[in-house]
Structure 1
Amino acid sequence: MRRALVSLVLLLASLLLSVAPCLAVKLNSPAPDFVLKDLHGVKQALSAYKGKLVLLNFWSTTCPPCVQELPSLNELYKEQKQAGLVVLGIALDPAEKPVRELVGKLKIEYPTMLDSNKDVYFDSYGLFGQPVSVIVDRTGLVREKIIGAVDWNSPQIKAKMNSYLKGR
């Protein structure tokens, strides 16, 4: 009986691992649309930003690298929003209060939403790890997934974002 149970568990694990990559959003494919409420209670739909370059930043208050990159992401947003950059912060915290407090403390200007159940993060985008950023071009296609913290003010990142903003 025990041997059969172990075999069943191993079979299920291998099936889940083989399916997980299929769930992950793929480069050059349409970005899955979603609707989440921001910290002001306003519903934000990804589809509302078609025609703009959208940077989705998945993070949480309990992730030090996530928190560390937020100020530079905010600066990038402030510098390039007139050129068509939209940043949507998607916090994965189970509660709104710590997110609201951190966003206020850091004076984050771009919309921040809560994905407490990880419906967008895991179910729609198939992501793992934090922080993770997804760049969606003006036509709604996923152009890049960036895993890990980034200095959004580095010359390389700024050049990359400028290139996306120009449609290249």
Structure 2
Amino acid sequence: MKRLTAGLFFVLFLLFAVSEAKGLKPYMFTLKDENGKTVSLKELKGNVVYLIFWSKTCGTCRKELKEINKLYRKYKDKGVIFYAVIIDEKSPDRIKQIKKEWEFEIPVLIGNSVVKSKYRIIGTPITYILRKDLSIGKIVYGEISLKKAEKYINRFLKEQ
């Protein structure tokens, strides 16, 4: 029991430490979107990048994507690029169907096992908000309120 408690404490410490890791660079992926277009993270430099990792079986993701869609509409033409990275579906047609059912417009990238591993996706939703230099500004495990998300977006937009 003592070993389990120590292990759990260590995992929680790592999650907190990573979530506050400023200046770290994320894995520079190249993924296809739901329309077959290739998206390379390194080409997004100069923008704040909002990545939300999700799965089709995640009820919290469904709620969160609908909410974050409000920020997508507000900031998509103001230097913020949003992507919802799905980790458990490869079919573009099914992804488009889910987007319609869940009522969100955020462009979807089709994740893979490498991205899942490199971004330490141990559950969903997980949000990465990247600064303009593509360093990690904030990682959120679980839900994020619109107010908090917008606070980070605005902070990172003001940075040079």
Q: Return the TM-score normalized by structure 1.
A: 0.76
1:159 paired with 2:151, answer yes
1:147 paired with 2:141, answer yes
Alignment match, 1:5: none
Query: Does the 8 A contact of 2:129 with 2:153 survive in 1?
Result: no
Q: Which amino acid aligns with 2:149?
A: I
**Offset, 1:103:** 1.0
**Offset, 1:59:** 0.2
Which is worse superposed, 158-167 or 36-45? Answer: 158-167
Which is worse superposed, 101-110 or 157-166? Answer: 101-110
Alignment match, 2:57: 62
Alignment match, 1:39: 34
Which of 118, 123, 126 is 1:129 aligned to?
123
CA distance in 1, matches of 2:69, 2:128: 16
Correspondences of 1:1-168 after superposition (within 5 Å)? 26-96=21-91, 97-115=93-111, 117-122=112-117, 124-152=118-146, 154=147, 156-167=148-159
Q: Return the TM-score normalized by structure 2.
A: 0.79
**Offset, 1:107:** 4.5
| Dislocated runs of 4+, deviation >3 Å | 24-27
Q: Which amino acid aligns with 2:110?
A: L
Q: List alignment gaps of at least 5 residues for structure 2.
A: 1-6
CA RMSD of the aligned region, Å?
2.4
CA distance in 2, matches of 1:62, 1:45: 26
Number of positions where the alignment pairs a residue of Structure 1 with one of Structure 2: 145
